[in-house]
Structure 1
Amino acid sequence: MDMQGRRISSADLHRVEEELGVCLPNQYREFLLESNGGHPRPNEFMSRLPRGNDRMQIRYFLSALSDTDARDLVWRYRVFCEENTSDLLPIADVADGSMICIGVARHNQGAVYFHDYYAGFAKPHPAQLGEQINYRLYDSFAAFISSFVSVLESEVSPLKIALAQDDVDGLSVLLDTGQVGLEDTNVAGHSLMEQAAIRNACGIMRMLFEAGVPIGRALELALKNAEFSPKHQQAVSLVKALIKERNCHR
């Protein structure tokens, strides 16, 4: 796996553990000493989620002693614990905005989990309905790393490419040829508008709005991404404007 963050020492990790108030699993500790986060290549892993999407993408692994709060282990753990269990430590961001966590309590030490970030903001909270937002993927960090797979260019969805590049013409072709439908959703249940909001694809969002696609949870998703990436304020501003415009025409 090709990735590299800021180099740290065992003494640095000991200080991080003291700030976290947890003992880092041994395999994950070795990973931090060797790589300390960063962008993985390849970046897809076998998710084994019950909802059917067998592959997911890692945006980046968090780092110890990062200069950027949103990518720092301690900062993210403190934010995470404000609304979630303290026995899971966020260690990576998934492309859809959710997180990969590792167990740091006696009962789940070293196990790797998928945290459904957006489900945690539903009202009422999924836990109150007996629904899961944390899914155990692997029993060890080593097993998780071994699940990463290389992705052939031909396996990359044309829709994902269009969204990533905010390619309005490209999406138009997919719609005109029936490869994509305006009412389509992805494996996470996100509509095209919501996927565009997650990707900060403002041109596509405007196009979908004019085609009558509902706004759905686009504002909520854009707001959450804007917490960690200022450029996503563009999507937030656009969705607010679209909501206002739609309300004026009612």
Structure 2
Amino acid sequence: MELIESYNSISESDLLIIEEKIGYQLPVEYKLFLLQHNGGRPVLDGVRYENEHFDFVGHFYAIRGEMYHDDLLRQIEEYKDMIPKGYLPIGESPGGDVFCISLKEPTEGALFHWDHEQANYDGEPWEYNMTKLSPSLTVFLEELCVGE
């Protein structure tokens, strides 16, 4: 998997600062991804679901400062009342949907797609608009393909 437009490398101590700010530990698999890439745009950006084209990955969030639109902390804060608790936003599609990692059992570590058009903006966030795409971030990244 190749990413372009990644940002400056980060360290373990940068991740500890992020975890302290958000109040929980990031999944190990995601921390490794951030340490290796720190966000960016995948060259193969197509997402498939049930063997059909589903969406595209526009970019993955990075740790780069909350003044930037694609900063992880900024996005966690912006989506905290829209995405159900127990999901960590990690990137988005060009159309504004969000890719999330589940932080809760029984789907912990699985990658989900949050559809902004189906979201409940009038009350508590629901899971009706969440689609499980992959059992893990690694599998999700391996399965990215040429967009259709």
When normalised by structure 1's length, the TM-score is 0.52
Match of 2:64? 65
1:16 equivalent to 2:15? Answer no
Tell me how far apart the structure 2 counterparts of residues 46 and 54 of structure 1 sit (CA, whole Å): 4
Structure of larger gyration radius? 1
Aligned partner of 1:6 among 5, 8, 25? 8
CA distance in 1, matches of 2:138, 2:118: 27
Q: Deviations over 1:29-70 (max 9, x none)?
A: 11100001011111112234xxx8523211111112345442
Residue 136 of structure 1, aligned match among 132, 136, 139: 132
Alignment partners' CA distance in 1, 2:125 and 2:103? 22
Q: Please name the residue that 2:110 is paired with.
A: 111
CA distance in 2, matches of 1:44, 1:84: 23
Greater relative contact order structure (CA < 8 Å, 6+ sep): 2
Structure 2 residue matching 1:65: 3-state secondary structure: coil
CA RMSD of superposed structures (Å): 2.4
Give the 3-state SS of the residue equivalent to 1:137 in structure 2.
Answer: strand
The Cα offsets for residues 76-128 of structure 1, whole Å up to 9 and x where unpaired, read as 1122112332211111111221110111235432110000112115668884x
CA contact (8 A) 2:63 2:71 kept: yes
Q: SS state of the match for residue 58, structure 2?
A: strand
Assess if the C-alpha contact under 8 Å between 2:83 and 2:125 holds in 1. no
Q: Distance in 1 between matches of 2:122 and 2:18?
A: 34
Alpha-carbon distance between aligned partners in 2 of 1:83 and 1:114, rounded to the nearest angstrom: 13
**Inter-CA distance 15–132: structure 2 relative to 1 (3 Å threshold):** same
Contact 1:23 1:104 in 2 (8 A): no
Higher helix share: 1
TM-score norm. by structure 2 comes to: 0.84
Structure 1: which 5+ residue stretches go unaligned?
156-250
Of Structure 1 and Structure 2, the greater strand share is in 2
Unaligned runs of 5+ in 2: none
Q: Deviations over 1:115-144 (max 9, x none)?
A: 0112115668884xxx71111111111110
**Number of aligned residues:** 146
CA contact (8 A) 1:16 1:65 kept: no
What are the equivalent positions in structure 2 for 1:1-250 lying under 5 Å apart?
Answer: 1-3=2-4, 4-48=6-50, 54-66=53-65, 68-121=67-120, 127=126, 132-151=128-147, 155=148
- 8 Å CA contact 2:29–2:137 kept in 1: the answer is yes
Following TM superposition, the consecutive aligned residue runs of length 4 or more in structure 1 with deviations greater than 6 angstroms are none
